[in-house]
Amino acid sequence: GSGSGSGSGSGSGSGSGGEVVCGEAHCEGMVDRWECAYCEIDQAYVHGAGTYLRTLLGVGWGLLGLKMFLEWSIRRTRSTFLIKHAKVEDEMALLRIVRDMHTAERSSLDEASRVSSTDHRDVLDLMRKSVQQKDFERHDANNDGLLDADEFRNMQLRQRSNAAAEQAMIIDNKHLTFNMFDEARHKQQRRKKSQEVREVQERLSRGVWIGGRPDFFLGLLGVARMVDAFYVSLVLLNGCSTANLVLGPSSWSLILALCMPTLISMQFSTLIVRDFALMYAICRAPPELLMRVEVHSRIMLRSYEELRVQFHKLFVNAHPTTEDVLEACYLAFASADVDASSQLSHEEFAALVSTLTGEQSSPQMLRRLLRMIDTDQSGAVTIAEFLRFAAPLGEELAEIDVDIDALEVCIGAHVHYA
């Protein structure tokens, strides 16, 4: 009995082979931890954990490589698409082209709606001189065929109130007429238009995507997302704890190697979604959505000038004795600019419209006006935006785009002296 015990002890102490001594105290260096930290019965688990952690490392860095390949492929595909169809090399050049098209479109719209100053003053004179016979008889209280000052003032106030209410109703309800008209006009053409949109999408995809469709990239993205989800759960729930259990304090480098590809993959996932969105929106957008955007854009372009005319009539009705409508626009802007910031917030603009119409404006009408006036959607209406929409497009406004600082100085002076 003693001989067997002595042999076993000497074998374990010399480390020449035999059973592994239990206990962490026998490990003189951390490099021996895989062999001597656990008893012999636990060595299978320890070696299995090593294989498991090495597998996690390989999967994590392989997944990162797949994400990098997807990002490179999408960028290359996007560059090929831009060069082939838009004749540009990057999105900034495409954005400049779109902005130039938008500017030219708005310029042509303004040019088509431009009227001479003489014609505009003639219209104002006719509006000021037009007095209906029944209105005259209604306000001629003593039936003497003449209107005294009070009777004339009452008639003028009534006409202004009725005209303002009528124009406000037109602005508020015009979108219903346009929507119903366009719906009836394009109802029979939607199916044909939808097919044309699909043909255009297929033509754009041909020669750009693998197989002419982005389904291959969508499949790879789905696989990457699924593997990414499993990998993150395994690393966070099991991998880090296993590494810490086996290696103890020295496990930080292995945990960092496990978590690093996950963190980098998250960043690449964001880039993939951002870069793939443009291509997917062009080649796989629903045709119904594209047609709805097209119809809405056509409605907006056609109704812009008509809405501007209705809004301008509100100014004429609110200032019937003002010779210079441009000056009336200055004064109205200055009086509405409560905080003297040379721009109107949406609340200040709503108060201005309510003053012109004589009643509380509906949110729908305000959204419609602000969508036309606040062209940069900055949340405030500048003096230049206000004058482009409210003032007549005659020769007196030719320098609005050039001398914008002078206009803001004039408005500041109006606010100061008010």
Lowest mean pLDDT across 105-119, 168-182, 330-344, 363-377 = 105-119
Mean pLDDT over residues 73-96, rounded? 68
Output the pLDDT for position 400: 39
What residue ranges do the domains of the chain occupy? 2-29, 38-141+181-285, 142-180+290-417
Q: Residue 268 pLDDT more than 80? A: yes
Q: What is the pLDDT of residue 200?
A: 65
- What is the fold of 142-180+290-417? Recoverin; domain 1 (1.10.238)
Please give the average per-residue pLDDT across 53-63, as a whole number: 83
| Cβ count within 10 A of residue 327 | 14
Average pLDDT in the 52-56 region?
81
Between 15 and 130, name the one with better pLDDT.
130
In this predicted model, which residue has the larger pLDDT, 143 or 403? 143
Nearest Cα to Cα of residue 354 among 330, 318, 323: 318
- What are phi and psi for residue 382, nearest 5 degrees? -80, 170
pLDDT for residue 237: 73
